[in-house]
Structure 1
Amino acid sequence: MSADLTSLPVHAGRTRRQWLTSVCWLLTLLYFPVSLVVARAWPSGYRLSDNYISDLGITRCGEYTDRDGLSRSVCSPDHLAQNVMFVLTGLLMVAGALGWAWWWRGRAFRIGCVLLAVAGLGIAGIGLAPWDIRPQAHDTIAVVQWLVQLIGMVLITPETARRRRVLAAGTAGSVALSVIGGVFLFAKGHFGLGAGVSERIAFDSLTLWGGLVGFLLLSSSGGARGDTRSETGRSSRRRRG
C-alpha cells in the first residue's frame, strides 16, 4: 500500500510531461495560420507557385532572383512575425522530440528523436537567418534540417510501428511525400509545379507530420496513461527479478 502511494506523484509527473510533449508537437501547427496571415499582408500578393516559404521572412522589399534565374517580387510587411514563428516552431519541435525520447524506449528511436531535435534547431536557425540577410547560411541550414529530419523520421518508424501503427504509416507517408517534393524542388523547371508548391510539398509535409504526432500521442487509445502503466509494469518486473 505504501509503495503504491509513494509512486502516485511520480506517475502524475510522468503523465504531465507526456501531455506537455504532445502539446508541444500540436502547437507546431500554429505555423500554418501565422504564415497565412503573413502572406495575406503582401501588398502585391503572395503567389504560391512562384514564391518560396522563406520569402515570407525576407526583411526588405524588392525583386529577387532564384537559382533558375527567374525573378520574383517580394514584399513581406509582417516578416518579423514569420521569422519569430520559424524560431518558435523549431523550439517546440526540440521540446517535443526530447520529451518523446524520454517517453518511449529503443536506441534507434531515441537517436531518431535527437536528430528531430537537431532539425528543430535548424528550423529556428532559418528564422534567425532571413534569406535576404544571410542567403548562403539560410539555404544550407534549410537543406541540412530537411535531411536530418528525414533520417530521424526513418529511425523512429520501427518503434512507432510497434506502438502506433497509424503514426508509423503517417511517418512513412510524410517521408515519401517530402522526398518527392524535394526532387521536384531541386529539378530544373520543378516539373511544372513551380518552386513554391514544390518547396511546400518538401517542407510543409514535415510540419503537418509534427501535428499528427501530437494529435496521436495525445488522443489515441492507450495514450499517456497506457504508456505509463506499461513502463510501471516493466519496472515492477525488474524489481521482482
Structure 2
Amino acid sequence: MGDCCQPSYASLRSAFAAAAAANGATIANGAFLTVGAILLWAVWPRPRTGKIAMVFLAIGGVLVMMVGFLPWDLFPEAHGAVALTQAVAQWVGMIILAFALHGRALARGSAALTIVSLLISMIGFVLFIDAISGGPSTALGLGIIERIAFDTLTIWGAAVGFILLATTRSTRSTPKIADTFEAPAGR
C-alpha cells in the first residue's frame, strides 16, 4: 500500500487543531450565551416574561457548551441529541423574549431581529433534517444548511447584545435596560 494512502502526522495534527478550535469556539459561544442570560436576568421591560426567556436562553447556552464538549466525530448520537435540545430551548427563549420586548419603542428592533432570526433558524433546521434524510435540500450542501440552522442563533445573540449595549449608551441611563425602553403610547 505504501504512504500514498496514509495521512501524514502534520495533516492529522492540523485536522485535530482545527477541530479543537471549532469545539473550543462552540464552548465559548455557549458560555457567552449563558453568562449573558444571567447578567440580563432582571433588566427586561416585562420582568416575569424576560426572566422566563433568560432561563431558556441560559439552558440553551449550557447545551451549546455540551455540543462543543461532545464533538460529532466522537459522539455523533449525543452531539445530535444535545444540538436538537439546544435549538429548541433557544427557540423557546427567543419566542418568549420577543413577547418580553413587544410594544416597547426602543425594543422594536430587537423584537423584529429576534423573530426574523428565529424563522431563518427554524427554516434552516427543517432543511437540515431534510438533507440528512437524503431529501432534495442535500443539493444546497449539508454544511451550509447546518450553519443557517444553528449559526443564525449565534449571530442573533451577538446582535441583540450589541443592540442592548447601544440602547443603554444612547439613553445614558442606569444600567437597568428596562428603564431605557419607552412604554407604548396610551399605557
Return the TM-score normalized by structure 1. Answer: 0.61
- Are residue 127 (structure 1) and residue 71 (structure 2) matched? no
Partner of 1:116: 57
Partner of 2:35: 95
Superposition pairs of residues 190-205 of structure 1, within 5 angstroms: 190=137, 192-205=139-152
Amino acid at match of 2:21: A
Q: Is the 8 A contact 2:70 2:78 kept in 1?
A: yes
SS at match of 1:103: coil
- Are residue 161 (structure 1) and residue 108 (structure 2) matched? no
Decide whether aligned partners of structure 1 residues 226 and 98 sit closer, same or farther in structure 2, where only a CA change above 3 A counts: closer
Tell which has more relative contact order, 1 or 2 (C-alpha 8 A, sep 6+): 1
Structure 1: gaps (5+ residues): 1-59, 62-74, 232-241
Amino acid at match of 1:93: L
Query: What is the CA distance between 1:101 and its match in structure 2?
Result: 1.7
Q: Is the 8 A contact 1:218 1:224 kept in 2?
A: no
Paired residues in the alignment total 159
Inter-partner Cα distance in structure 2 for 1:191 and 1:129: 24
Structure 2: gaps (5+ residues): 1-10, 181-187
Superposition pairs of residues 32-51 of structure 1, within 5 angstroms: none
Partner of 1:147: 88
Q: Which runs of 4+ in 1 moved over 6 A?
A: none
Return the TM-score normalized by structure 2. Answer: 0.77
Inter-partner Cα distance in structure 2 for 1:97 and 1:82: 23
- Are residue 230 (structure 1) and residue 170 (structure 2) matched? no
User: Identity of aligned pairs, percent?
Assistant: 34
Q: Over aligned residues, Cα RMSD in angstroms?
A: 2.2
Inter-partner Cα distance in structure 2 for 1:86 and 1:212: 17
Partner of 2:79: 138
Inter-partner Cα distance in structure 1 for 2:68 and 2:87: 15
SS at match of 2:71: coil
